Structure 1
Amino acid sequence: MPEISGVGAVSIEYSHFSVGEQWERGFARRDSEPDFQTDERVIVVPGQLVVTSRVQEHTAPVVLAVNDQLDVAPGPAWTLVASVDYQPVYKGRMAAFDTMNGPAQPARESVEAFGRRVEPGEPFVDLDPSRTYRAQVWSQGRSDSRERFNAAMERTEWGVHEGFETYVIVFVPSGTQEPPAPSETRSQRERMARPNRKPPLNTR
């Protein structure tokens, strides 16, 4: 039985949102800029997956899951968007993020996935940092979401920002790796000391 998060509401701008690890204290930050010039539907950079949307600005329900079987759709109405490799870089705590505003908030409605009703909640799951994963992005509504959005705009329904796409991102263990380890932390005395010199007098 898959481990499933609550349903989050991701605020999408500029046609993308991310699912990634939250930085953990003690680890070196792994900041990387996605290449948005690519045609890939899901862009992988250290610490996150960037999912491209067919609609420039809207709110989409997102569910995260961990399963032990590959290529298992969340249900008959779900379509596979992409399948990519992912390696944890911190402690493996994955969350869905708005494009601009940080972690997604709980959605207003539930979603049917893996034969159950998934209720609104925080969209996060914990991966094992000693494992590598195959991440599969599944969607509903994506095939004609841009066309439906454009039709709504032509009808001047400017307040319509929901109901175009829904996502389930499933992580399936694929191998093993050396678990990422925190960087060695230096004491205040060591940080204040200049290279090859003694620490300041007030810290000796």
Structure 2
Amino acid sequence: MPHISHAGAVNIEYSHFPVEELWEPGFEQRDDSPDFNTSDAVIVVPGRIIVRSRVQAHTVPVVLALSSQQGQAPGVGWELLASVAYRPVYSGRMAAFDTTNGMARSASEAVSAFGQQADPGEPAIDLDPSRTYDVQVWAQGRSDSRERFDDAAPGTDIEGASGLEAYLIVFTSSGTQEAPSPAAHESRRDRLARTHGRPPLNMR
């Protein structure tokens, strides 16, 4: 049975939100920017999986899962949005984030997936950084979310809109890789020598 995270609430802005691998000191920090000039519903860059919503600004529940079975349907109402590949670049800790405001908060209610209840809490899981992963992004309510949003009463608070979509991101191991590792600790003397060509006089 898949391992599922708690259910988080993601505040979407600009019609997208990221699932990111948490950076830790010592690792080379990746800052690759996604290319939004595409019709793809899911975009992958090193360290991030970006999911694109059909609604510009709203709040959605998000659950992450780790499964040993590729393609297992999570239950009634879930539709497969995309399948992509992901390689851990840090230590493998994945979490759902708001578009601009940091890690997602706890959802207001549980989400059902794979016959389990994902209770409200932190939407995060731990991947094995020595593995590569196939990632399936499942959605609820997406097929007509924009239409339902447009049909809402005039004056509706778009930032507070909820219940339009839900997302489930499922990771399944697909192979192996050399696990990313942090750089070896560098002393102040060595750093200054590398920067200036030789160590300061008082450190020679």
Give the shorter-chain TM-score range.
over 0.9
Of all paired residues, the percent bearing the same amino acid is 60
Corresponding residue of 1:83: 83
1:137 aligned residue: 137
AA aligned opposite 2:83: S
Residues 158/94 of structure 1: CA separation in 2 closer, same or farther (3 Å cut):
same
CA contact (8 A) 2:192 2:198 kept: no
TM-score, with length taken from structure 1: 0.95
More moved, 71-80 vs 177-186: 177-186
Shift of 1:197: 3.8
The separation in 2 between residues aligned to 1:177 and 1:43, in whole angstroms, is: 21
Map of 1:172 onto structure 2: 172
What is the Cα deviation at residue 201 of structure 1? 2.9
Match of 2:14 in 1: 14
The Cα RMSD (Å) is 1.4
Question: In structure 2, do the counterparts of structure 1 residues 39 and 187 end up closer, same or farther at CA, with 3 Å as the change threshold?
Answer: same
The offset of 1:190, in angstroms, is 1.2
Amino acid in structure 2 at the alignment position of 1:155? P
2:145 aligned counterpart, secondary structure: helix
Q: How does 1:36-55 map to 2 (within 5 A)?
A: 36-55=36-55
Matched, 1:181 2:174: no
Once the 2 structures are TM-superposed, how far is the Cα of residue 200 of structure 1 from its aligned partner? 1.7
Amino acid at match of 1:157: T
Q: State the 4+ residue runs in structure 1 displaced beyond 6 angstroms.
A: none
Unaligned runs of 5+ in 1: none
- Secondary structure in structure 2 of the residue aligned to 1:193: helix
Contact 2:67 2:172 in 1 (8 A): yes
For 1:194 and 1:39, locate their aligned partners in 2 and report how far apart those are by CA, in whole Å. Answer: 45
CA deviations on 1:39-67 (whole Å, 9 max, x unpaired) are: 11100100110000000000100000000
CA displacement, residues 27-47 of structure 1 (integer Å, 9 cap, x when unaligned): 001110000011111001001
Range with greater deviation from structure 2 (190-199 or 5-14): 190-199
- Pairing 1:63–2:63 present: yes
Aligned mates of 2:114, 2:130 — CA distance in 1: 26
Q: Equivalents in 2 of 1:23, 1:7: separation in Å?
A: 22
Alignment length, in residue pairs? Answer: 203
Distance 1:147 1:65 in 2: 29
Distance 1:190 1:15, change over 3 A: same
SS at match of 2:151: helix
Partner of 2:3: 3
Equivalent position of 1:157 in the other structure:
156
